[in-house]
A and B are shown apart, each in its own frame.
Chain A
Amino acid sequence: MNAKKLFIIPALFIAFGALGQEANLTVKPVVKKKYDLNLNSLTDVTQTMAGMEMKASIAYTAKAVMEIEEVNSNGNFTVLSTWKDIEVTSSVMGKDTTLHAENMNVTIKTIYDKSGKIIKSDRMNTSGSTDPAVAMIEQLGRNVKLPVLPAKTTKKGDTWQSYTNDTIQTMEFPMAMIIDVEDEYSFAGSVTENGVEYYRINKAGPTRVSAEGKQEGMDMHIEGTGMNESYLLLDKATLLPVKIEEKTGMDMSIIMSGPQSMAIPMTQNTVTKIKFSEVK
């Protein structure tokens, strides 16, 4: 028996890319304002083991409420993101499963500087951490970050860079995975959508992942390179995102050594759409 498994590797690498014509791109949050956040994402995975192709797709929908808790005089601000509902539908090797959980209230407190860079991020309550749905929504919540802005006056066509380095672990895939994201943002000026004017930011950049560890008693080495392409619409008053659409692609190489040396190529493609709407 060769009970091959499809490796479910954390699929969401959402860096809400740091961000008219000319604008001061500095976040201007308003204390106590709340936003409903709706996330939809679909990941297609193709993995080949010794010539056998295995396909899977995983769809997430999640809802959260994001509240601006505090804004300091230096521009730093605190966001409480309370992740409430999640539905995960997966189709793995012909088998469909759905996980649905409501009112989980997993709250993540994140302190940002005025450009949107994260200073600190912690989960407020840790109850239910062994529940797969809670663990999943927490991971999702930690991956969703505000964009990094240049925090200065910026002309249409101007670009800026950001670099993030994260380590993530999931219940499904307990090896620590290091994720490096290099993004180049460009300011695309003002755009009008449904009669409302927003600032548009385009973002693209390479992503690299790596992990070392053991899986089922075998040494495992993972490396991957990928790319993300996305755009964001920002509210002109607060410079907070209203809409984000991101495409991420990743080619990974999974190497297992031991009695059964195996080299497994895997390709992941993810489309993520997030909408923020102010709670009036």
Chain B
Amino acid sequence: MKRIFSLLLLLLPCLFVNCLHSQEAPSKGLQQISEPLVKEFIGFLASDEMRGRPAPSAEADRSAEYIAMKLKDFGIKPIDGSYFQPIPFCAADLNIENCRFVLTKSGTNREFALKENFTPLFNTGNNRVRGELVFAGYGITAPEYNYDDYKDIEVSGKIVLVMKQEPRKSDTISTVFNGKKDTEYSDITYKIRNAAEHGAAGLLLVTDPLHNVAITAQGYLWNSLYMKGGANPVYNVCEEEDGNIPAVQVNRDVINEIFGSVDSLRTLQRNIDENLHPASFVVPEAWVDIAISVDKKEFPSGNVIGWLKGSDPQLKDEFIIIGAHYDHIGISPKPNHLNDSIMNGADDNASGTAAVMAVAKAFAASGKKPARSVLFMLFTAEERGLIGSDYYTKNPLFPLEKTVAMINMDMVGRNGNDTAYVIGQQYNPGLAALINAAIPETGLKKEEMAMDLYRSSDYYPFYKKGISAIGLTSGLHSDYHGVGDNPDKINHLKVQKIAQLVYKVAWQIANTNNYYTIIEQ
């Protein structure tokens, strides 16, 4: 009897939560989401003055400030006093004149060619080092697998040569290193950091020869090595270098010089894999001299984030994210027949941004506080490869393990009055069921998309972190990424309907203690 009573006690808070918080979105909030409201937001963000909001740019920053100002006006709170999550954007490029790689083997120097034989990795340090060469297997220290390539070898002040990937990559049923699926140990950034933590002065990376025939020095695709003429820079997130050690990928010519042949390295790899035992060693009479010079220019940009703190004593520490990206792709190099070259991005994604802002206003004006905390996130640099959302998931402001769901809106203002697509349903059955059930109430009709766009917008980095994340869109069109994506082509009624749908579903999620599972891709 006591045991049953204890179970009831455990269940009680859950029942209590569901009873206390109405799952029906307050109509007061719903009424806030209107056509004129979204039209106003889209009109500003997709105006010619914003010049297509490429990130990073002054116009993207102005858009971010506008969004933050509106969130503040609605009563959405900043996080630690700020609506901005700064991202250290930079355009980095090699100073190719000052990059050198010399291998001294048995007293003979051989200088290798940049790009053909060696290419610096993106996370390389920016200096010159010289040291004895050590082969360090996969460059992995994995206590949970009782595997350490650095266990019996001293690499302090030396240059380590490590292979890409991880042991037993071809095992379909491997219990170590997750078989064919990558673990964090195959990540190149990890290998550089681990080498630096063991005191290595530099790192040479080589493609694992057991599973690859091409042993090239691809490294990072630096502008100066590939772009011809005045191409736009490739932006990325420039974080603190991992240990600041020079790190380069080398090709088969370097391996032939070190080991005599690629086959010798293949044999070493096969032995490591078979025995699951490291085989690190100092390469006899081999020294490496590497000089790397990278020029970096910083262009700060950032995500805009505001929140409404939850009201339930237990659930307030859990989070739901409503997101969209506010950047677009700027100016077209070729004007259209009307001499218009601004790719305003009214649909992509001023529409989604406006919808998030409208949902934020609705939550703030609903007259009730949600049980769970609700985060409103407007991401930067989605168009450069989901950089803003990816950055958030790697640098979260609230615990990801407490983030129960993410709903994203991207391109929600075209293709008629009522059609909508739900992206990622197959990987998020619980969250999809909620959305699909709410669609008819909002006057929308769900359609199925032939393409799988699940990696194409800001939900994806959240899903990769194990968070149920789903996207709403009204689909692609002929003005996508063109100068024709203008505010006058937006169907504001549709933006309103999709924002209302998200408001209703988000309210439901925010006021229950339900959790949503994901299905692995």
Chain A residues with a Cβ under 8 A of chain B = 1-4, 49-52, 54, 93-95, 216-217, 221, 223, 225-229, 247-251, 253, 255, 257-265, 267, 269
Contact = CB atoms under 8 A, between A and B. Distances in A.
A227 B227 CA distance: 24
Nearest to A225: B216
B214 A2 contact: no
B343 A253 contact: no
Contact of B213 (A49, A255, A265, A269): A269
Nearest to A230: B213
Interface string B321-355: 00000000111111000000001000011000000
A189 to B, nearest CB: 20
A1 B480 contact: yes
B455 interface: yes
B400 interface: no
Q: Which of B207, B212, B227, B228 gathers the greatest number of chain A CB atoms within 10 Å? A: B212
B452 interface: yes
Interface residues of B, number: 52
Contact of A3 (B232, B343, B476): B476
A49 B211 contact: no
B218 A226 contact: no
A54 B452 CA distance: 12
Given A2-B456, A227-B252, A261-B232, A267 B329 contact: no
Contacts of A49: 385
B453 interface: yes
B455 A227 contact: no
Q: Which of A50, A247, A248 gathers the greatest number of chain B CB atoms within 10 Å? A: A50
Given A94-B521, A226-B213, A269-B213, A50 B455 contact: no
Interface string B201-241: 00000010001111110100101001110011110100000
Q: Which of B329, B481, B521 gathers the greatest number of chain A CB atoms within 10 Å? A: B481
A171 B328 CA distance: 30
A184 B218 CA distance: 24
B330 A259 contact: yes
A1 B348 contact: yes
Nearest to A53: B182
Given A221-B228, A262-B234, A251 B455 contact: no
A146 to B, nearest CB: 22
B420 to A, nearest CB: 14
Taking chain B's interface residues, is the majority helix, strand, or loop, or is none over half, making it mixed? loop
Interface in B45-71: 52, 54
A259 B54 contact: yes
Nearest to A3: B456
Contacts of B406: none
Nearest to B214: A249
A124 to B, nearest CB: 34
B383 interface: yes
Contact of A255 (B227, B333, B387): B227
Interface of B: 52, 54, 207, 211-216, 218, 221, 223, 226-228, 231-234, 236, 252, 329-334, 343, 348-349, 382-387, 390, 410-411, 451-457, 460, 473, 476, 480-481, 521
A251 B411 contact: no
Given A93-B455, A251-B216, A251-B218, 19 more contacts: A1-B476, A2-B385, A2-B457, A3-B456, A4-B385, A50-B384, A52-B455, A94-B452, A217-B334, A226-B213, A228-B213, A249-B213, A255-B221, A257-B231, A257-B232, A259-B232, A259-B333, A261-B232, A267-B212
B226 A253 contact: yes
B390 A248 contact: no
Contacts of B233: 261
B452 A93 contact: yes
A15 to B, nearest CB: 14
A253 B218 contact: yes
Nearest to A259: B329
Given A2-B382, A255-B226, A261 B213 contact: no
Contacts of B455: 4, 52, 54, 93
B234 A263 contact: yes
Contact of B214 (A1, A223, A250, A263): A250
B216 A226 contact: yes
B385 A267 contact: no
13 contacts: A2-B457, A50-B384, A50-B387, A52-B386, A52-B390, A52-B460, A216-B481, A225-B214, A251-B214, A257-B231, A258-B232, A261-B232, A263-B234
A257 B476 contact: no
Contacts, number: 118
A51 B480 CA distance: 23
A91 to B, nearest CB: 11
A2 B379 CA distance: 13
A226 B331 CA distance: 37
Contacts of A93: 452, 454-455
B264 to A, nearest CB: 15
B471 to A, nearest CB: 9
A252 to B, nearest CB: 8
A260 B383 contact: yes
A258 B383 CA distance: 13
B231 to A, nearest CB: 4
Contact of B456 (A1, A51, A250, A259): A1
A225 B330 CA distance: 33
Given A1-B411, A269-B211, A260 B384 contact: yes
A253 to B, nearest CB: 5
A262 B221 CA distance: 9
B218 A263 contact: no
B343 A1 contact: no
B329 A226 contact: no
A208 to B, nearest CB: 11
A228 B213 CA distance: 7
Nearest to A268: B214
B234 A227 contact: no
B324 to A, nearest CB: 10
Q: Which of A2, A94, A267 gathers the greatest number of chain B CB atoms within 10 Å? A: A2
Contacts of A247: 213
B410 to A, nearest CB: 5
A2 to B, nearest CB: 5
A170 B20 CA distance: 62
A262 B252 CA distance: 27
9 pairs of A and B residues whose beta carbons are closest in the complex: A50-B385, A249-B213, A249-B214, A263-B221, A261-B232, A257-B231, A251-B216, A226-B214, A259-B329
A221 B226 contact: yes
